[in-house]
Amino acid sequence: MMVLFLGPLTQLAVESPRGLFHDVKAGLNCQSWSKRVKDLKWLRNHVVAPLTEEFVFRACIIPMLVPCTGPTSAIFISPLFFGVAHFHHIIEQLRFGQDTVFDILICAAFQFTYTSVFGVYTAFIFIRTGHLVGPVLCHSFCNRMGFPAIGSVLEHPQKSLILLFYQLGVLLFFILLFPFTDPTFYVQSW
């Protein structure tokens, strides 16, 4: 998943005022983690949501779908439940009245689309590897990164470099998808 985000990661590195290595080092120190663990929003987005959603939508739903539909269909059906589950954001936005109903529905359609596409990917990982760890880590990473802000790249002074890494990330993602999820890597031999 991190390979797919080479563009956004490159943009973060380029825009880092103190340098990427300083930011990574600062993010890994004990005080930084202590703050995060106490932050309920951070815990929800990076620990609780990935664990619970992947458990429900991958570990519970896929094993029920596979005998009925086969693995390939299950990869494409289970994410629809995952996408619909994110419609609760519509209620939050309507409650706070921040946008028009039309804008909220457009946003919900977009979110349904990208959460469903993400769900296809994590369902694929779950079925290929037989493990839940990969989908949970991908989910947490994607929640951290958010949807790539491609519009900001087009205005960036180092647009060419960042766009190159966006393209390289997509290319490498597809090249490495099957080798990195090869089931033989994940077989338990006790």
Q: Which sequence positions are flagged as catalytic?
A: 53, 86
* Measured CA angle at 126 (ends 3, 133), to 5 deg: 70
**CB under 8 A, 24+ apart: contacts of 144-153:** 144/45, 144/46, 145/5, 145/8, 145/9, 147/114, 148/5, 148/7, 148/8, 149/8, 152/11, 153/7, 153/11
CB burial string 27-49: b at 16+ within 10 A, e below: eeeeeeeeeeeeeeeeeebbeee
For residue 79, give the nearest of 46, 129, 126 by alpha carbon.
Answer: 126
Rounded Cα–Cα distance for residues 131 and 41 (Å): 26
Residues whose CB falls within 8 Å of the CB of residue 95, separated by 6 or more in sequence, listed in order: none
